[in-house]
């Protein structure tokens, strides 16, 4: 039975509830983070908490605690559930209010931390690669709601993913309003051609992924491969030697096909496989240690 943190108290799954007047539920007014723990260590904890507070500041949401206090709660959530490997979901909403839009009616935020396990894709998918389809939707532009904010309003992503599911694909590719590749519904995207790896720049309309930045660092520092953050189009992906996506939950997954066009051999390539292995090794040995002795847990 997992224990869930809500506003200073710990609840069993069945008792973990928020008010129907919470503006996170009524209006999607809030922010969140997804974080992974490997081998008793929380990976990139500081970076995720920094992004959480940055998203909250962007929507004028005062979390009401320090970064250090938030990190301690996240660590305690992993401890309380006796987890070695975990997926951690942190939510901060505007809190209890009324049926109106006025945020001043919400006197304090609601804070929820859930630590559990996750498997977005079975292992064979990492061997075979995934299929992408280009969504008919566009990524929400900066002029409407900055994609840099990891907000609870995820309908743009959800509807794009629904298109992919209807087409028999696992992920959807979203373009920005200018028609350049932005990101996938839940992942950042990279491609390899002639020894150069490219990924869209943050200003193109993407969420600055923590996994994305880790992969950029590993490519540059460990594999000595040049990475360019640059604009590109869907046909550039069709002609790539390798394409892969990155995300906290998914980690790194090779792309086999986009819009019914095989990427090279139609299987994840050597760089993708090498990078996946390197990332998993790095994530399992780096991070904030949860337990005093990193004993074998479930």
- Of 47, 138, 41, the closest CA to residue 90 belongs to 47
- Of 40, 153, 158, 159, the closest CA to residue 91 belongs to 153
Rounded Cα gap, residues 189 and 246, in angstroms: 6
- Element of type H or E holding 47: helix 45-58
Is residue 35 within 8 A of residue 248, CB to CB? The reply is: yes
Catalytic residue selected from 3, 44, 84, 150? 150
DSSP string covering 185-200, please?
A: SSSEEEEEETTEEEE-
Q: Is the sign of the CA dihedral 135, 141, 145, 150 positive or negative?
A: positive
Is residue 138 within 8 A of residue 173, CB to CB? The reply is: no
Six token digits for residue 230: 């640059």
Coil/strand/helix, residue 269: coil
Rounded Cα gap, residues 244 and 182, in angstroms: 14
Catalytic residue list contains 150: yes
- Residue 58 half-sphere exposure toward CB, CA atoms < 13 A: 18
Coil/strand/helix, residue 68: helix
- Residues annotated as catalytic (active site), given as ranges: 150
């Amino acid at each position: 039975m997992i224990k869930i943190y809500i506003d200073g108290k710990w609840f069993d799954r069945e008792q973990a509830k928020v008010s129907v007047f919470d503006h996170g539920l009524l209006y999607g007014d809030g922010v969140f983070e997804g974080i992974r723990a490997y081998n008793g260590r929380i990976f990139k904890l500081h970076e995720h908490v920094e992004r959480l507070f940055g998203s909250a500041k962007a929507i004028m949401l005062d979390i009401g605690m320090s970064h250090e206090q938030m990190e301690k709660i996240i660590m305690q959530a992993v401890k309380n559930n006796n987890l070695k490997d975990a997926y951690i979901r942190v939510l901060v909403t505007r809190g209890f209010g009324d049926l109106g839009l006025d945020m001043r009616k919400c006197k304090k935020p609601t804070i929820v931390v859930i630590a559990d396990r996750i498997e977005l894709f079975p292992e064979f998918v990492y061997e075979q690669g995934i299929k992408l389809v280009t969504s008919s939707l566009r990524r929400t532009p900066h002029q409407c709601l900055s994609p840099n904010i990891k907000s609870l309003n995820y309908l743009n992503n959800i509807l794009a993913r629904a298109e992919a599911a209807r087409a028999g694909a696992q992920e959807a590719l979203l373009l920005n309003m200018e028609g350049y590749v932005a990101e996938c519904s839940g992942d950042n995207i990279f491609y390899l051609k002639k020894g150069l790896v490219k990924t869209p720049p943050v200003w193109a309309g993407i969420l600055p992924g923590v996994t994305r930045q880790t992969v950029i660092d590993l490519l540059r520092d460990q594999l000595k491969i040049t990475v360019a953050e640059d604009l590109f189009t869907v046909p550039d992906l069709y002609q790539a030697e390798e394409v892969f996506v990155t995300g906290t939950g998914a980690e790194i997954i090779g792309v086999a096909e986009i819009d019914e066009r095989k990427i090279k051999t139609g299987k994840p390539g050597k760089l993708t496989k090498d990078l996946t292995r390197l990332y998993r090794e790095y994530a399992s040995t780096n991070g904030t240690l949860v337990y005093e002795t990193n004993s074998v847990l479930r």
